Amino acid sequence: MSNYQTPAQGGNKMPEKVFSKMLRAGSNNFFFDVKKASNGNNYLTISQSYKNQKGEQVTSRVLLFKDRFQDFFASLQEASTFLK
């Protein structure tokens, strides 16, 4: 977990965005954002956003730091073989 604090939490700046891409998939939106942490390391945030049955916006996030990305990606590739 990152030690980063948002400005609302008392932090003084937002992380620098290095890359950003949005994917629309039906009623879901997925956001892939690479940001630079305060220690200079990049990390990936994958966010899913959708409206629930009450019309409320729901967002979920997964943060991946570079030291875990290869394991995460390998597991994702392995799982994808069962989607064919």
Predicted TM-score (pTM) of this structure: 0.75
Q: Are 22 and 31 in contact (CB under 8 A)?
A: yes
Domain assignments of the chain as residue spans, ordered by start: 7-83
Q: CATH number of 7-83: 1.10.645.10, 2.60.40.10, 3.40.1160.10, 3.10.450.700?
A: 3.10.450.700
How are beta strands 16-25 and 42-51 bridged, if at all?
Answer: unpaired
The DSSP-derived string for 4-53 is ---GGGT-S-PPEEEEEEEEEETTEEEEEEEEE-TTS-EEEEEEEEEE-T
Closest CA to 36 of 61, 4, 6, 11: 4
pLDDT in tens, the chain (84 residues): 444 454 445 556 788 999 999 999 999 999 999 999 989 999 999 999 999 999 999 999 999 999 999 999 999 999 999 998
